[in-house]
Amino acid sequence: SAEYMGRITCVVMGVARTFNRITPVFFSAPVIRGFGQGGRLLGFPTANLPSGQLKSVLDQLERGIYCGFTSVGRGEVHQMVMSVGWNPQFHEDQKQLFMEVHILHTFPQDFYGEELNVVVVAKLRDEAKFDSLDGLIVAIREDIEFAKQGLSSPELASLAQHPFFLKAKQ
């Protein structure tokens, strides 16, 4: 699995949270159609990735919520939050791992089939099942705010300029 590289503490609205920085994990994958729950039901659209094609990535990441940077095709690099896991809120009986990326940017249209270039840099928390959808929504909002702050720190922000993204633009 990805190597632990230290802890990052962020404070958002008076609440401190510490998460683990990991050795960056780089990968590219096509965006596939999901079940529509991220955007339609929760208000957080996600780019779904074909976990079956990403075994080497899944071998490096424990189940949980991560943050990092991403670009769609040859586009701009944006911050992102990514879920890797069984998606227990919606698919309790499912035996398929899900990889869903919520890009912290608004796009004018869907981009199914486009290549998503991803660098994962920190694990925010473990995967969890919540008592209600409202609880899940609150957790996602918190994940996003802590990710924005952590990814803006100098040691992580520089990864948005990594040559991996330049290669994707060529």
What pLDDT, on a 0 to 100 scale, did the predictor assign at position 90? Answer: 58
What pLDDT, on a 0 to 100 scale, did the predictor assign at position 56? Answer: 92
**pLDDT tens, residue by residue, 8-34:** 888 887 888 888 999 999 999 999 987
Query: Can 92 be counted among the known catalytic residues?
Result: no
pTM: 0.89
Residue type, 71: S
Q: pLDDT below 70 — which residues of the chain?
A: 1, 35-40, 87-95, 168-170
Contact yes or no for 75/107 (Cβ under 8 A): no
What pLDDT, on a 0 to 100 scale, did the predictor assign at position 6? Answer: 86
Distance CA 8, CA 71 (A): 24
What pLDDT, on a 0 to 100 scale, did the predictor assign at position 167? Answer: 74
The residue from 100, 115, 127, 142 that is catalytic is 100
What pLDDT, on a 0 to 100 scale, did the predictor assign at position 88? Answer: 56
Q: How far is CA 120 from the centre of its chain?
A: 7
Contact yes or no for 21/154 (Cβ under 8 A): no
What pLDDT, on a 0 to 100 scale, did the predictor assign at position 98? Answer: 85
What pLDDT, on a 0 to 100 scale, did the predictor assign at position 70? Answer: 98
Q: Which residue has the tokens 């701009």?
A: 76
Q: Which residue has the tokens 């074909």?
A: 50
Distance CA 100, CA 118 (A): 11
Q: Of the candidates 36, 5, 46, 7, which has an alpha carbon nearest to the alpha carbon of residue 22?
A: 5
Contact yes or no for 146/108 (Cβ under 8 A): no
125 to 33, 48, 152: CA distances (angstroms): 25, 20, 18
Q: Of the candidates 98, 97, 103, which has an alpha carbon nearest to the alpha carbon of residue 116?
A: 103
